[in-house]
A and B are shown apart, each in its own frame.
Chain A
Amino acid sequence: MHKSRKVLLSLLVVGAIGSVVALGAFSAFSSTTSNPGNTFTAGTVTIGDNDANAALYTLTNQKPGVTTDRCIRVTYTGSLDADVKLYSSAIAGVGANYVNLTVTPGTQGGAPVFPSCTGFTADAGPALYNGVASGFPTTYGTGIADNPGTVATKWATGDSVVYRFSTSVQDNNLAQGATTGTHSFTWEAQNQ
């Protein structure tokens, strides 16, 4: 074997041994842990009713002393617990001062169809609102808070309440021919 080849081979062997020694010298114990599969999904606040965009009442030629009842079911399907308040758009027109409005929460058995009140049972306690239409609250801040049943403190997924709207015109000559403007009722849910 050539002298230079021997030297080269020796260097190779020394290098290999050096690598092994270095590996031992610089090695260290090691450990890791991981937390896989993370996701984030926001909750939802979703409320609906059974009106299919139809008016709760469109009453004409009403006479004093006759009360008309109409019912609407409000259902909460959001994932977050929520507070719900009821308010309306401004009920304008001269008639708004002569129309009595009572809103009563309750339940409804059987298979009712909007806006029938057949099978309605009022919850214990007073009505949510009992006064002239013009005085109905018009903002969330002043809105009427209500929870399902008599003991709940929130609306949770699947909760529903039936609201009976009872309307009548006052026995007052000034009410003759008076009409209210078109108005809407809103149930607004906000998560707790």
Chain B
Amino acid sequence: MPTLTITKVAGLMLGAAACAALLLGTHITRPPGALDAALTLTSSPTGELAVEPTGAVLAARDLQADRPPARGGLTVRNQTGAPLDVSLRARPASGDLDDDVRLRITAGAATLYDGTLAALRAGSRSFLVQPGASRRLKLLASLSPGRGENAQGRSDEVALELTSTPRPLTP
């Protein structure tokens, strides 16, 4: 009888080991490395504002948490006869990177925006452009802290929509 019990226990352990080996053997391991996130920012002129360049103003195909920010820029020119308060809004095509990408927009020393793509849907701070004058905007895009895992393999094309409001001329 004790021999039979030992055999049963041994069989049970052998079966359990076989099951464990089977489960571990068929588990698909994650490949080494990480998939990059891709982001393209575009801009187009409005009636009141000329933009240079048109189309892609920042193109990043390899956004990763441990890499330096992607850089881009555009020049906005006021082609009206009035001073304009200009701001930008994000219009993402898919919104897949809304909370993953941090965007910083500067005009000279002034920071117009520093935050997620999602929050830029509400608009940036405005900046003044005099009639016939131009302002150069610099763009920096990076993955938000702790969002690298979430952003893997995602991509989006975001239109930076320019809006302008004439500022009343002071007498």
B11 to chain A, nearest CB (A): 19
Are A73's CB and B47's CB within 8 A? Answer: yes
* A42-74 near B? 1/0 per residue, CB < 8 Å: 000001111111100000000000000000011
Contact of A54 among B54, B80, B164 (CB under 8 A): B80
Complex CA distance for A68 and B46, rounded to whole angstroms: 26
Produce 1/0 per residue, B27-56, CB < 8 A to A: 000000000000000001111100000100
Task: List residues 79-111 of chain B with CB under 8 A from any CB of chain A.
Answer: 79-82, 84, 93-94
Q: Is the CB of A50 within 8 A of B54?
A: no
Does A75 sit within 8 A of B, measured CB to CB? yes
A78-114 to B contact mask, C-beta < 8 Å, 1/0: 0000000000000000000000000000000001111
Taking a contact as CB atoms closer than 8 A, the residue among B48, B77, B78, B166 that contacts A49 in the complex is B48
Flag B98-140 by CB within 8 Å of A: 1 or 0 each. 0000000000000000000000000000000001101000000
* A124 CB, min distance to chain B CBs, angstroms: 24
CB neighbours of B132 from chain A (8 A): 111-113
* CA distance in complex: A74, B94 (Å): 30
Question: What separation, in Å, do the CA atoms of A73 and B48 have in the docked complex?
Answer: 8
Q: How far is the CA of A41 from the CA of B91 in the complex (A)?
A: 12
Question: How many inter-chain contacts with C-beta < 8 Å in the A-B complex?
Answer: 60
Q: Give Cα A112–Cα B79 distance, bound, in whole angstroms.
A: 6
Chain A interface size band reads 20 to 34
The DSSP consensus for interface residues of chain A is loop
CA distance A47 to B94 in the complex (A): 24
Q: Are B46 and A75 in contact (CB under 8 A)?
A: yes
Cβ-defined contact, A158 with B79, below 8 A: no
Instruction: Please give, as numbers and ranges, the residues of chain B lying within 8 Å of A113 by CB-CB distance.
Output: 78-81, 131-132
Chain B count of residues within 8 A CB distance of the other chain: 20
Q: Which residues of B contact A73 (CB under 8 A)?
A: 47, 79
In the complex, whether A39 has a CB less than 8 A from a CB of chain B is yes
Q: Cβ of A160: which chain B residues have Cβ within 8 Å of it?
A: 45
A157 within 8 A of B: yes
Cα of A68 to Cα of B111 in the assembled complex, Å: 43
A74 to chain B, nearest CB (A): 7
Query: Contacts A39-B94, A113-B132; is A54 near B82 (CB within 8 Å)?
Result: yes
Assembled-state Cα–Cα distance A47/B134 (Å): 22
Closest to B84 in A: A52
Give the nearest-CB partner of B166 in chain A. A52
Task: Say yes or no: B46 contacts A114, CB within 8 Å.
Answer: no
Chain A proximity of B103: nearest CB distance (Å): 21
Nearest chain B CB to A121 CB, angstrom units:
16
Q: B81–A115 contact, CB under 8 A?
A: yes
CB-contact partner of B82 in A52, A74, A75, under 8 A: A52
List of A residues within 8 angstroms of B79 by Cβ? 50, 73, 111-114
11 extra interchain contacts, Cβ-Cβ under 8 A, other than A54-B166, A111-B132, A114-B131?
A50-B47, A50-B48, A50-B80, A52-B80, A53-B82, A73-B47, A112-B79, A112-B132, A113-B80, A113-B81, A114-B80
Could you write out 14 A-B pairs with CB less than 8 Å apart? A41-B93, A48-B46, A49-B47, A50-B47, A51-B47, A52-B80, A52-B166, A54-B82, A75-B45, A75-B46, A77-B44, A111-B77, A113-B78, A157-B44
* B positions within 8 Å CB-CB of A: 44-48, 54, 77-82, 84, 93-94, 131-132, 134, 164, 166
